[in-house]
């Protein structure tokens, strides 16, 4: 116990060696009168903490202004601790730290940390005190761990070795404050302090729980936060073993969520460069299908003929292809399937026979790949160059699944673009006689 003496009494104070140095005024403090001295002695010598607090309160009520304000506050601090009045002890510690020679006192700072953990729930005032204490250690580690503050019995190495431990502990306290405030506060702290990967892990755990509770839309952000813990290597990074474990988890989750490992490198690059997603999104298998459908719809709008052709092919080659064929057999396509579309387009692959064909084999979906056969009752005149484009509409007659081939019967009104002409007569062939009058 540190004692401050006057010529008449000794007032006991908190067990902080710094008090003695802090309370060395130009002139020794004095009581205002004998009554104050009596009340101070009564408070200081009382053994029962509850009774001591009552006597301290009487002294303070009767003498709110005293030259012994700091020593009295020290006794309050000690008494609150004995009574487990954690809120009050925190506030007393903060008041003591307003003294320039006590602001860096590690015992006071540690007491704030310890008391805060005991309060369920802490008040805003308690949280403010904790935040102030933690931030002070982070911002002024050399002041807190100065040679002048080193306790007796502790080596220089022990004292200096404690500094980084307490700085990290203080950062963890601020992390906990953010976590208690919720995801918004955690994200804000991550933006301000990008190396706090424990907060990424906390966010990952929270979002994983949310996903399991009916919010699958959060899985992209969840994987991002775990990826951050896996790849970040700056100050505050996880150790190599933890990073490896998080990467294994992310790889597995990514493949399940995205449907493949495509672009996983983009996830890790984004997580390495930023502590929070900030708009980065991993496409889920549902997103990808919706995107494909959106792209397909846009393509169909711009290309109604090819769209209808590929949709018919998809139906015919699918599991219910035979049943679908029974529905479309003997129907005319395109017909009225798509408003404004009257004909398909295809390019000639083969003509049977080569001259005056009654069968045309076309490539509709892909250049050079035959997938459509047109049958004509009457032979077409002449022939055309292979690769020439035709437009057609016809009646469904048959199909083959592998390789795919759809056969249509077509009348002359159903074919557009045929420019073939009858072959010229052979050289030397007799000409038909010209009748008189012609």
* Series of mean pLDDT values for 10-residue runs along the chain (438 residues): 30 38 63 95 96 97 95 96 97 95 95 96 96 97 94 93 96 96 96 96 96 93 97 94 97 96 96 95 89 81 85 92 92 76 89 95 93 95 94 93 94 91 59 51
Q: Are 257 and 323 contained in the same domain?
A: no
Q: Are 52 and 74 contained in the same domain?
A: yes
Q: How many domains does the chain have?
A: 3
pLDDT given for residue 18 in this prediction: 37
β-bridge partners, 406: 372, 399
CA-CA distance, 125 to 119, in Å (whole number)? 12
CA-CA distance, 48 to 192, in Å (whole number)? 47
Please identify, among 234, 260, 286, the residue that sits at the C-terminal boundary of a domain.
286
Q: Are 212 and 336 contained in the same domain?
A: no
Examine residue 293 and state whether it is found in any structural domain, yes or no. no
CA 186 from chain center: how many Å? 12
The three-point CA angle 416-421-425 to 5° equals 170
Whether the CB-CB separation of 390 and 343 falls below 8 Å is answered with no
pLDDT given for residue 27 in this prediction: 76
Q: How many CB atoms lie within 10 A of CB 159?
A: 16
Q: Are 15 and 160 contained in the same domain?
A: yes
In order, the DSSP letters of 263-275 are: THHHHHHHHHH-S
163 class by beta-carbon count within 10 Å (0-12 exposed, 13-18 middle, 19+ buried): middle
CA-CA distance, 307 to 296, in Å (whole number)? 8
Q: Are 387 and 341 contained in the same domain?
A: yes
Examine residue 318 and state whether it is found in any structural domain, yes or no. yes
Residue with tokens 């590929």: 310
Examine residue 422 and state whether it is found in any structural domain, yes or no. no
Please identify, among 286, 315, 345, the residue that sits at the C-terminal boundary of a domain.
286
Residues with Cβ < 8 Å from 45, sequence gap 6 or more? 12
In order, the DSSP letters of 280-319 are: --PPPHHHHHHHHHHHHHHHHHH-HHHHHHHHHHHHHHST
Q: Are 154 and 213 contained in the same domain?
A: no
What does the DSSP 8-state code read for residue 423?
P
Q: Strands of 288-435 (E only): list them.
A: 332-333, 344-352, 359-363, 372-375, 389-392, 394-400, 405-409, 415-416
pLDDT given for residue 340 in this prediction: 65
Q: Are 161 and 65 contained in the same domain?
A: yes
CA 65 from chain center: how many Å? 55
Angle of helix 285-302 versus helix 240-258 axis, rounded to 10: 40
CA-CA distance, 114 to 81, in Å (whole number)? 11
- CATH classification of the domain holding 406: 2.40.50
Which of these, 75, 69, 74, 31, lies nearest to 55 by C-alpha position? 75
Q: Is the pTM of this model over 0.85?
A: no
Residue with tokens 């008041």: 95
Examine residue 275 and state whether it is found in any structural domain, yes or no. yes
Examine residue 296 and state whether it is found in any structural domain, yes or no. no
CA-CA distance, 132 to 157, in Å (whole number)? 27
Please identify, among 175, 208, 242, the residue that sits at the C-terminal boundary of a domain.
175
Examine residue 74 and state whether it is found in any structural domain, yes or no. yes
Which of these, 364, 361, 339, lies nearest to 350 by C-alpha position? 361
Q: Are 126 and 37 contained in the same domain?
A: yes
Whether the CB-CB separation of 362 and 348 falls below 8 Å is answered with yes
Examine residue 70 and state whether it is found in any structural domain, yes or no. yes
What does the DSSP 8-state code read for residue 182?
-
β-bridge partners, 352: 359
Q: At 183, list the tokens.
A: 């995801």
CA-CA distance, 130 to 21, in Å (whole number)? 25
Examine residue 430 and state whether it is found in any structural domain, yes or no. no
Phi then psi for residue 225, to 5 deg, are: -65, -40
For residue 277, the surrounding DSSP H or E stretch is none
Whether the CB-CB separation of 284 and 219 falls below 8 Å is answered with yes
CA-CA distance, 254 to 277, in Å (whole number)? 15
CA-CA distance, 410 to 357, in Å (whole number)? 13
Whether the CB-CB separation of 331 and 367 falls below 8 Å is answered with no
Q: Are 168 and 208 contained in the same domain?
A: no
Q: At 132, list the tokens.
A: 């102030």
Q: Are 163 and 189 contained in the same domain?
A: no
Report helix, strand or coil for 177. helix
Range of the domain at 399: 304-416
Q: Are 255 and 363 contained in the same domain?
A: no
Q: Are 164 and 209 contained in the same domain?
A: no
């Amino acid at each position: 116990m540190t004692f401050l003496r006057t010529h008449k009494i000794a007032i006991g104070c908190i067990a902080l060696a710094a008090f003695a140095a802090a309370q060395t005024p130009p002139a020794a403090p004095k009581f205002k009168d004998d009554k104050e001295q009596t009340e101070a002695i009564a408070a200081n010598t009382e053994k029962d903490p509850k009774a001591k607090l009552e006597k301290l309160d009487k002294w303070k009520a009767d003498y709110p202004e005293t030259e012994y304000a700091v020593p009295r506050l020290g006794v309050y601090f000690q008494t609150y601790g004995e009574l487990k009045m954690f809120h009050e002890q925190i506030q007393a510690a903060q008041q003591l730290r307003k003294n320039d020679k006590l602001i860096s006192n590690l015992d006071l700072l540690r007491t704030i940390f310890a008391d805060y953990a005991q309060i369920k729930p802490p008040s805003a005032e308690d949280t403010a005190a904790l935040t102030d204490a933690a931030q002070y250690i982070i911002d002024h580690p050399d002041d807190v761990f100065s040679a002048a503050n080193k306790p007796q019995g502790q080596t220089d190495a022990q004292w200096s070795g404690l500094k980084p431990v307490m700085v990290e502990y203080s950062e963890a306290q601020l992390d906990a404050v953010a976590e208690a405030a919720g995801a918004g506060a955690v994200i804000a702290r991550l933006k301000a302090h990008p190396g706090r990967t424990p907060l990424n892990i906390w966010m990952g755990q929270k979002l994983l729980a949310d996903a399991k509770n009916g919010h699958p839309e959060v899985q992209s952000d969840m994987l991002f936060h775990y990826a951050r813990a896996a790849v970040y290597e700056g100050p505050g990074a996880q150790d190599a073993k933890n990073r490896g474990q998080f990467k294994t988890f992310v790889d597995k989750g990514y493949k399940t969520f995205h449907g493949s490992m495509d672009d996983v490198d983009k996830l890790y690059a984004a997580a390495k460069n930023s502590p929070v997603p900030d708009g980065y999104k991993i496409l889920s298998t549902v997103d990808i299908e919706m995107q494909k459908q959106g792209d397909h719809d846009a393509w169909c709008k711009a290309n109604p003929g090819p769209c209808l052709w590929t949709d018919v092919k998809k139906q015919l080659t699918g599991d219910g292809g035979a049943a679908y064929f029974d529905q479309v057999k003997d129907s005319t396509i395109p017909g009225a399937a798509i408003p404004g579309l009257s004909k398909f387009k295809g390019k000639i692959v083969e003509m049977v026979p080569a001259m005056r064909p009654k069968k045309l084999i076309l490539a509709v979906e892909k250049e050079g790949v035959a997938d459509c056969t047109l049958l004509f009752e009457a032979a077409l005149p002449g022939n055309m160059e292979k690769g020439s484009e035709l437009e057609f509409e016809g009646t469904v007659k048959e199909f083959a699944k592998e390789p795919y081939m759809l056969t249509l019967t077509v009348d002359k009104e159903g074919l557009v673009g045929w420019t073939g002409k009858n072959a010229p007569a052979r050289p030397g062939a007799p000409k038909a006689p010209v009748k008189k009058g012609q």
